């Protein structure tokens, strides 16, 4: 029952949050524009529900030149001064509220990855594509970038198998904690689905 109504809940909640955050989102957009050259938003193709591609939206946190030549040589390479804080506090992810409103994403689900990742996944791991990708998810509140991809996919599939409204609420609440204490704090304390 819950998967059938989840998209409706997501869209309604996204509309409310966007309305509440509009002044803040506009302020961030202006700061990005006046502190570095380039567009306000960063677009990238990601893989969504049933492996269908969609355009992921983020606030730009790197120099425009770095994005243009796709030079991701090291952690933090090309990140603007403002971008550092946008990433640290996950503010760069807020434009994905519009992805949720469109129905491409959910508030909670496996994080959408780039198309190249699919060829390195087995059929079991691809179960993560049976649900809409999320702004946050089980893997994100269980270590995220500090754990191997295989472990992240394991968390993603477990989420698909145990998806529920209350698990989503608990993941969202833990995400707020994560913003303040960092993802590394959860490596040895993974989230437990019920």
Q: What is the pLDDT of residues 85-118, one digit of tens each?
A: 999 999 999 999 999 999 999 999 999 999 999 9
**Alpha carbons 15 and 51: distance in angstroms, whole number:** 25
88-93: list long-range contacts, CB under 8 Å, 24+ apart. 89/179, 90/175, 90/179, 91/28, 91/59, 92/42, 92/58, 92/59, 92/60, 92/61, 93/58, 93/135
How many CB atoms are located within 10 Å of the residue 183 CB? 18
Backbone φ, ψ for residue 62 (5° rounding): -115, 165
Instruction: Tell me the pLDDT tens digit for each residue of 60-92.
Output: 999 866 554 444 444 456 899 999 999 999 999
Domain limits of the chain?
2-186
Instruction: Tell me the pLDDT tens digit for each residue of 151-191.
Output: 999 999 999 999 999 999 999 999 999 888 888 888 888 89
What value does the mean pLDDT take over residues 126-148? 95
* pTM, to two decimals: 0.90
């Amino acid at each position: 029952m819950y998967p059938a109504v989840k998209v409706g809940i997501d869209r309604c909640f996204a509309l409310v949050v966007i309305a509440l955050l509009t002044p803040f989102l506009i302020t961030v957009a202006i700061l990005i524009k006046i502190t570095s050259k380039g567009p306000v938003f960063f677009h990238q193709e990601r893989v969504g529900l049933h492996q269908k591609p969609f355009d992921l939206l983020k606030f730009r946190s790197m120099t425009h030149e770095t994005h243009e030549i796709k030079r991701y040589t090291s952690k933090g390479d090309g990140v603007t001064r403002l971008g550092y804080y946008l990433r640290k506090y996950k503010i760069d992810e807020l434009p994905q509220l519009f992805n949720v409103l469109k129905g491409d994403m959910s508030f909670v689900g496996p994080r959408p990855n780039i198309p190249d990742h699919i060829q390195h996944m087995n059929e079991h791991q691809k179960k993560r594509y049976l649900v809409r990708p999320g702004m946050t998810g089980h893997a994100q509140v269980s270590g995220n970038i500090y754990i191997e991809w295989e472990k992240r996919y394991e968390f993603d599939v477990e989420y698909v198998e145990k998806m529920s409204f209350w698990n989503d609420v608990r993941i969202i609440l833990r995400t707020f904690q994560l913003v303040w204490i960092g993802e590394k704090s959860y490596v040895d304390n993974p989230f437990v689905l019920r």
